[in-house]
Chain A
Amino acid sequence: MTAPALRLAGDPPASPRARRALHLRWGLVALLLLAAVLSISTGAAGLSLPRVLGDWLSGAGLATRDRVILFDIRLPRLAMGMMVGAALAVSGALMQGLFRNPLADPGVVGVAAGASLGAVSAIVLGGLLPVALTRVLGPQFLVPLAAFLFAWGATMLLYRLARAGGQTSVATLLLAGIALTALAVALTGILINMANDQQLRDLTFWNMGSLAGASWMKLALALPFVAPALVFAPRLAGGLNALALGEAAAAHMGHDVERLKRWSVLAVAAAAGAAVSVAGAIGFIGIVVPHLLRLASGPDHRALLPNAALLGAALLVGADVIARQVVAPAELPIGIVTAILGAPVFLWILMRRRGFGGI
């Protein structure tokens, strides 16, 4: 390492890994653009991007049918894929930083199941709420709101359960996650049993766990939760870095650990809850994306969080393209694709960590 003796404030960071993370960001932007182009040009209808662009440039304009396919089906699907992918990846990275463990992920440890329970509760029990309340919030807005609140509760509970003496143990974390998931799934089952026909239709549609039901409306409902969480997350990065040394050390270095935990849990719940409420439980994005990025450019959360949003968006959009291609003109639920890609990575991390000194 032959770093120059003195650097000016605002210079690029000195460490080679920090520089690599910055370069990586441009690659990820390019990857996301590529995934976006693929996503817009694939689908059951034979509408390809060159044709759209050709029509546009020649001044012919788009046919009504093409316009509907592009603006009402493919673009909202792309936008929602990007939002959900970014939300899942960032909430995974945040949660791993908070739990000091690369295996923590909203899907694995029960937060997504909690969010699902919230969403189902809103669909089935929403009618029991005072009419005034549902009118103010709107019945559709109730679903992401309930998903967020339940995800929040699940994350808080999990943190209490898994932490002992300022440390979190991976065994307790995963086992508590199994128990929480089982409980949430059971309660969700009870609610589904109570549902009437109309509600069952809503549930089935929601439960598909895919981007097939994407609409601008759903995007508008979830974005108020996801956007603040994504924008706010990088401000937690310095604190999460310090937290990697434990709660006591982080406090000794001047970080308000309690506040850091509160805001991290809120951001995880907002991003993961809203993502689940519009796309169902899509697993492993939150584990695979931060893990790949840590391998590529290190665990510094200042670089990790923005890069996770980009790679998460690109990966989910890409997985959605695969889900639509494999059995075209039908499509696979996207959760199957992410699980096939992600579960082996999860196992790989688990095996490697056995030699990593515990936590």
Chain B
Amino acid sequence: MLAVTDLTVHLGGRRILDALSMQAQAGAVTVILGPNGSGKTTLLRAATGDLRYAGSVRLGGVEIAGAPLWRLAAVRGVLEQATPVAFAFTVAEVVRFGLGAGLSAGRAEVARLALEEVGLADLAERPFHELSGGQQQRVHLARVRAQVWEPVSPEGPRWLFLDEPVASLDIAHQLAVMEVMRGFARAGGGVVAVMHDLNLSAMVADRIVLLAEGRVVAAGPPEAVIRDAPLSRAYGCPLRANRAPAAGPWILPQGAAAS
């Protein structure tokens, strides 16, 4: 379980997160939503050990601050919003970095399977920098998946922390990446993703944590969070949640519509 308690983070003298508490369970996809500047990425970065923080962030019972990097790396993979690659590494080489130093029998195979999972096995030997932005992001997802290939280790569940995993993708690949997230969670791993698209979030999430101004506005299953009042309050604009038969809630923006 990811347990965040009274998390406060200051960046450049500004308080970005203010005594925030939230939880995410293994075996589920937890999506963090909120307007720009609400502290979504900061929350993710604190949870992955990138930032100093006050309060507590525990992953599988281990406090993130002060945990050895190799130990964290064995338990969770992190996909950043963008990860530029210096030098002309091939796609396969970039994915293999996720495997760490010990490239042993089954592990080499993992890199290939991870590329297959994101539908890029054909591009394995292409230079990474020749790929489109969306393809590059999928290569990095394969790298992060390779790092924590089995969703459950003998020590416990593993985790994926994803910062806007579908932001630069077309609709087909958005669905494919969301299927990767769901599959990892179904197999017992934990997924925590920062997302922007409310409708995709409602589709993929087991649980949504809605932030505004460094605090949790609402948290719970999509049906509980994707509602008119909390969304309109968090985003500061009128939003109406709708129900589709046999599907989750969906959002129709109420302003700026061409009529």
Contact = CB atoms under 8 A, between A and B. Distances in A.
Contacts of B108: 6-7, 14
Given A1-B125, A9-B105, A252-B48, A300 B80 contact: no
A88 B161 CA distance: 41
A298 B89 contact: yes
Interface string B75-113: 001101001111111101110111011011110110010
A6 B80 contact: no
Contacts of B179: none
Interface residues of B, number: 38
B122 to A, nearest CB: 9
A328 interface: no
B86 A101 contact: yes
Interface in A57-71: none
B198 interface: no
A246 interface: yes
A218 interface: no
Interface in A243-286: 244-246, 248-249, 251-256
A311 to B, nearest CB: 17
Contacts of A244: 85-87, 89
Nearest to A9: B104
Given A6-B106, A299-B88, A251 B50 contact: yes
A300 B83 contact: no
Interface stretch (B13-21, B66-74, B168-176, B224-232): B66-74
Contact of A1 (B80, B88, B124, B129): B124
A8 to B, nearest CB: 6
A7 B101 contact: no
Contact of B69 (A14, A241, A246, A251): A251
A15 B93 contact: yes
Interface string B153-177: 0000000000000000000000000
A5 B88 CA distance: 26
A80 interface: no
Nearest to A18: B93
Interface string A40-66: 000000000000000000000000000
Interface string B39-50: 000000000111
Nearest to B109: A6
Contacts of B77: 252
Contact of A251 (B49, B74, B98, B105): B49
Contacts of B105: 6-9
Nearest to A300: B93
Nearest to A252: B78
Given A3-B112, A253-B100, A246 B125 contact: no
Contacts of B69: 251, 254-256
Contact of A253 (B50, B73, B88, B93): B73
A298 B94 CA distance: 12
Contacts of A101: 86
A299 B109 contact: no
Given A7-B105, A245-B94, A253-B97, A357 B74 contact: no
Contacts of B135: none
A67 B106 CA distance: 58
Contacts of A16: 125
Interface in B19-44: none
A248 B80 contact: yes
Interface string B47-62: 0111000000000000
B87 A102 contact: yes
Interface in B196-243: none
Contact of B93 (A298, A358, A359): A298
Contacts of A356: 129
A101 B73 CA distance: 26
Nearest to A259: B69
14 contacts: A1-B124, A5-B109, A6-B105, A9-B105, A15-B125, A245-B84, A248-B80, A253-B147, A255-B69, A256-B69, A299-B87, A356-B129, A357-B129, A358-B84
- The 7 A-B pairs of least Cβ separation, nearest first, read A254-B73, A299-B87, A100-B86, A252-B78, A254-B70, A9-B104, A244-B86
Interface of A: 1, 3, 5-9, 13-17, 100-102, 238, 241-242, 244-246, 248-249, 251-256, 294, 298-300, 356-359
Given A15-B96, A16-B125, 16 more contacts: A7-B105, A13-B103, A14-B108, A101-B86, A245-B84, A245-B85, A245-B86, A248-B80, A249-B80, A252-B78, A253-B73, A253-B97, A254-B69, A254-B73, A298-B93, A357-B84
